Amino acid sequence: MLIAYLLFVSTLLYESVICNVKKSCHKKCDCLGTYVDCSKTMINTFPEALPPWMETLDLNLNKIDGTLTIDTSSYLHLTTLKLTKNSISSFPIFVNKTKINHLNLAHNKIEKLEALENLPNLKTLDMNKNKLVFLDDHSFPQSTHLKILNLNNNLITNLTANCLDTLINLVELKISHNKLNNLPGGLFKKLKNLEFLDLSRNHITVIHGLLFMDLVNLKTIILRQNQIEDLQDGSFFGLINLQSLHLEDNNLSKISKGWLYGLNSLVYLNISYNRIDQIKSGWEYCAELEELDLSYNKLQYIEKSNLENLRKLQKLHLNNNRLSFIEEGSFNNTPMLRILQMDHNYLSWLIEDAKETFIGLRNLKKLSLANNKILFIKKEAFSGLDNLDELNLLQNNVLEIQDEAFKYMPNLEYLYLNSSSLVCDCSMSWLKQSNIFESLPFDYINAFCGFPEKNKGKNLKDISLTDFSCLENSPKPTIIFHPESKMVLERQNITLKCGVNSSSTEKINFVWKKDNHDLELISTNHYSSFEFNGMTQFSVLNLYNISMSQSGKYQCVASNEFGITYSNRSVLSVVVYPFFAKVPGNSSVKTGLTARLECAANGYPVPQISWQKDGGTDFPAAQERRMRVARDDVFLIVDVKLVDMGIYSCTAKNVAGMIAANATLNVLEPPWFKSEMSNKQVRVGEEVVLECLSYGYPKPKIKWIKDGVSLTLSNRHFFTAENQLLVIMEANTDDSGTYQCEVTNSLGVNSQKVDVIVMPLYQSLIHEYTLGLVVIAIILCIIIISSIWVLFVYKAKRPSPNLINNSDNKSLDSSNSKDSGTGESTKRSQEQLFNECLNTGQKLNSNLGNLTPEINSPLLTHASVILGENSVKYKHSKTATQPVQLPTTEPHETVEDQIKCVKTSEKPCSIPVPLSNETQDSPPIVQQSCSHVNLHEQTVDAL
């Protein structure tokens, strides 16, 4: 009973609440709790009698127009207001401050954004599909919590630089499909919290550098469908957290590292639907990139460096381009690639002739090559694709598949192939091998045979192994004459020839390729010759007035309905004969300075520059390492010398030929003299020769001056050796004076002087007589001195017994002498005897007078003499000398004879003369002797 009662009460209460709600809800609206739906009710004003607890009010698809005034004082809980698809012409006027967070005014006719002051809690504002024309500095109030702003599909043409400054909390901003053509600098400077920015479908042509530098938290930016032609360097600098960048459907023509700079966090980049014809390196700034969309552009080739630094790339879209060449090894830079789209290109050669193109794609799962005009699948075409799951070869009219063409894809599950022209001869029998046929996913293969006739129209999987028979004469084309590699000069004409054999008489289709690009608008000749095994057809490629741009690898591709074949690649090297860009010119340089020689040449290959001097390569400047290279076209000779003067030849050489140009280097030097002139003194009647040897460049002019007056030619004055010699014949006293040699060139003047004395006849005679007397006197002195010394030597040979102690053979000045000590001795000491002999010689000299030369004997004031038997030892006080050997005593002389000599002679007659040295072990002995003959008389006789 209690339970039944409670149910009854609750039912009454519910009915009561429902009745109250119905009474407070507008009759045309549906009140669903806090959600009130008044959409599609054709009301034209803000409804009344709505529940006060209402949180969401939907007024979409009504007839509200003009200016809408809203009083929300009764709806304190209202947070979401939807007013889409009405005819409101101005921004609604809110009478009081509201708590509305989300306001949707899309699809109206509002022309100006204003009156937001009473929406302080607004977080989302949708103004899509209105008629806004511009945003100014007063469009948004100062204090706003707006996080999402949608301004898509308006007529906005202008944004002031500060119009978004108050939206500091904005996270998402959409201004797509407007008429913006310029974004002012600093527009986003306050939007530090912005994460999503959509500027697509405007008229923007240029993105200026540093435009987005303040959007440090931006993760996605959409710029698709504009008219952007140029992205300046640093266009996206500062977007350190940007992960997704959309630039599709613009007018971009290149990818450069300048505008990629700073995109270090980029994961997705879409540049499809542009005019990009080449990729340049610069991906080092996008090392985190995982997906790159380059589809629908004008790419013609991909080089190895174009994909560098994309080590994390997983998806690459290259479809719908003009690709005809991908350099081998290009995909080595993308080891993580999983999806590779290359549909709708011209990459048939990639499968028909290239090798190891996909090496490096070990992680590739999906490869699409649909519609690439592939006719032939080479055996090694898919090498490296170990983990490939899906291969799309649709819309390629494949004629032949070589043996083991699919063995490099062991994990292949989906093979999309459709062809109706397969040549089902014995070359295709490998497909029917059990281990291969069972592993191929024929559920996705729709291939039919077109040849031979017995197999024509049959599905590949329905033909038995025996039906793949070999033909005696195959109609498939075979290259028998490959084009040859050549080297030609620019502007010459050249032909390349290709020959193909086939058993079919059908005309072979020839295509010439250059660097794997089909050649168009070229001149070719075709002719045929019949052979015993079929017909050989030739194609001749004519290249006229050839230029450098035509260098490359040429290849002939021949095909018919039975197959296709490729010739070898012939290398055509176009060379340009060297020509001078800078020709060396004549120059003059002063010694000690630096000479400058310029020479530059162009050509292909780049010519090598070499220098010669006077026909030789080993010239002084090179030997002495005075030659420097300032630039590639400037050579310097430092510290120039006279030996550097000459003709310099600049030679430019490459494989095409050699050219040379000459230049003369003149080395200028001030005049200088090789040697100084010396004074001259001659007699009257003799000739005088003065030398003035000078150097310099230009060659100096020589001028002779005497006593300040220039000399001229006369009967006695001659100039020879280009005026370097002045000759005066039969000199007289008038020729005496000061002569000056003056040398002059363009760099200066130099001179030197010399005195010339011409002596008269009497002066010369006196001079000669005086000179003769001097000569005679010198001769006489020499004779006298020689005689005296001879006499001394002769007398020294006679011994003096008085001076010898025969008992003990000791010196007279030994310790046994009785005269040692103080006082006068009756016997003279050895030093006294020796000094007396010296004095005697001096007196003898004075007695001889002018007839004998003066003899200055050395005074032994600082020496001592030690006498002994047969020797004398002279010892200087400072310098010790060896003992001097005197002549030995003659045996016939006695002591008495010596005493007699001493008594008869007043003075000593000889001095000791050193004759020979004794060893130091011999006792020091000196012999002193005197002759009893009168020395004066002997000297006169000798003279």
Query: Which residue type occupies 483?
Result: P
Q: Which of 84-98, 511-525, 630-644, 734-748 has the highest mean pLDDT?
A: 84-98
Q: List strands edge to edge, sheet with 688-691.
A: 688-691, 725-728, 717-720
Q: CA dihedral defined by 230, 233, 236, 241, rounded to 10 degrees?
A: 140
- Which two three-digit tokens encode residue 66? 């003009």
Give CA separation, 135 vs 131, 153, 157, 211, 514, in Å: 12, 14, 9, 18, 56
Averaged pLDDT for residues 897-923: 40
Which alpha helices (DSSP H) does 382-469 contain, by range? 434-437
3-state secondary structure of 100: coil
Is 807 a member of any domain?
A: no
What's the pLDDT score for residue 424?
87
Averaged pLDDT for residues 859-888: 40
Q: Of 470, 489, 516, which residue sits at a domain end?
A: 470
Number of domains in the chain: 4
Give me the count of residues in the chain. 943
User: 222-226, 298-302, 834-838: which range is least confident on average?
Assistant: 834-838
Is 681 a member of any domain?
A: yes
Q: Of 717, 743, 759, which residue sits at a domain end?
A: 759
Q: Of 537, 552, 573, which residue sits at a domain end?
A: 573
* Higher pLDDT, residue 158 or 675: 158
- Residue 260 contacts residue 284 (beta carbons within 8 Å): no
* Higher pLDDT, residue 616 or 374: 374
pLDDT > 90? residue 293:
yes
Pairing of strands 534-543, 523-531: antiparallel
Averaged pLDDT for residues 370-374: 94
Number of H helices, E strands in the chain: 9, 61
Nearest C-alpha neighbor of 77 from the set 48, 100, 58, 46: 100
- Does 636 share its domain with 750? no
Cα–Cα distance between 909 and 232 in angstroms, integer? 123
Nearest C-alpha neighbor of 534 from the set 497, 568, 500: 500
Averaged pLDDT for residues 186-193: 94
* Mutual angle of helices 935-942 and 830-848, in 10-degree steps: 50
- Does 550 share its domain with 589? no
Which alpha helices (DSSP H) does 642-696 contain, by range? none
Q: Is the peptide bond before 605 cis (omega within 30 degrees of 0)?
A: yes
Query: Which residue type occupies 587?
Result: S
772 backbone dihedrals φ, ψ, rounded to 5°: -65, -45
Q: CA dihedral defined by 896, 898, 902, 904, rounded to 10 degrees?
A: 70
- Which two three-digit tokens encode residue 457? 């129209």
What's the pLDDT score for residue 760?
82
Is 850 a member of any domain?
A: no
What's the pLDDT score for residue 840?
43
Is 735 a member of any domain?
A: yes
Task: Give, for 683, the enclosing helix (H) or strand (E).
Answer: strand 680-683
Nearest C-alpha neighbor of 928 from the set 942, 936, 899: 899
- Does 653 share its domain with 693? no
How do residues 349-369 score in pLDDT, each as one tens digit? 889 888 788 988 999 999 999
- Does 538 share its domain with 491? yes
Q: Which of 150-164, 556-570, 882-896 has the highest mean pLDDT?
A: 150-164
Q: What is the CATH number of the domain that holds 483?
A: 2.60.40.10
Which residue carries 């977007």 as its tokens? 239
Please name the residues in contact with 726: beta carbons below 8 A apart, sequence gap of 6 or more: 688, 689, 690, 692, 704, 711, 717, 718, 719, 739, 741
Averaged pLDDT for residues 861-870: 40
pLDDT > 80? residue 886:
no
799 — pLDDT class (breaks 50, 70, 90): low
Pairing of strands 124-126, 148-150: parallel
Is 213 a member of any domain?
A: no
What's the pLDDT score for residue 674?
76
pLDDT > 50? residue 892:
no
What are the beta bridge partners of residue 864? 875
- Does 308 share its domain with 425? yes
How do residues 566-584 score in pLDDT, each as one tens digit? 899 899 999 999 999 989 9
3-state secondary structure of 480: strand
How do residues 446-466 score in pLDDT, each as one tens digit? 888 888 888 888 888 888 888
Is 625 a member of any domain?
A: yes
What's the pLDDT score for residue 2?
58
- Does 663 share its domain with 679? no
Please name the residues in contact with 400: beta carbons below 8 A apart, sequence gap of 6 or more: 375, 376, 377, 422, 423, 427, 428, 476, 563, 564
pLDDT > 60? residue 238:
yes
- Does 567 share its domain with 587? no
* Higher pLDDT, residue 406 or 935: 406
- Does 410 share its domain with 442? yes
Pairing of strands 366-368, 390-392: parallel
- Residue 290 contacts residue 313 (beta carbons within 8 Å): yes
- Does 310 share its domain with 442? yes
What's the pLDDT score for residue 276?
94
pLDDT > 80? residue 302:
yes
Is 12 a member of any domain?
A: no
Task: Give, for 793, the enclosing helix (H) or strand (E).
Answer: helix 761-796
- Residue 354 contacts residue 331 (beta carbons within 8 Å): no
Task: Give, for 587, the enclosing helix (H) or strand (E).
Answer: strand 587-590
Domain that holds residue 630: 583-668
- Residue 37 contacts residue 30 (beta carbons within 8 Å): yes
The answer to whether the Cα torsion of 771, 776, 777, 778 is positive or negative is positive
- Does 442 share its domain with 344? yes
- Does 402 share its domain with 456? yes
Number of C-beta neighbours around residue 505 at 10 A? 11
Averaged pLDDT for residues 520-524: 79
Averaged pLDDT for residues 800-829: 39
Q: What percent of the chain has pLDDT over 70?
A: 80
Is 529 a member of any domain?
A: yes
What string of H, E and C letters represents the secondary structure of 198-241? ECCCCCCCEECCCCCCCCCCCCEEECCCCCCCEECCCCCCCCCC
Cα–Cα distance between 192 and 169 in angstroms, integer? 8
pLDDT > 60? residue 928:
no
Cα–Cα distance between 508 and 940 in angstroms, integer? 139
What are the beta bridge partners of residue 255? 279
652 — pLDDT class (breaks 50, 70, 90): very high
pLDDT > 50? residue 929:
no
pLDDT > 70? residue 489:
yes
- Which two three-digit tokens encode residue 216? 């440090």
Please name the residues in contact with 812: beta carbons below 8 A apart, sequence gap of 6 or more: 803, 805, 829, 830, 867
- Residue 286 contacts residue 269 (beta carbons within 8 Å): yes
- Does 536 share its domain with 657? no
pLDDT > 60? residue 646:
yes
pLDDT > 50? residue 389:
yes
pLDDT mean across residues, the chain: 80
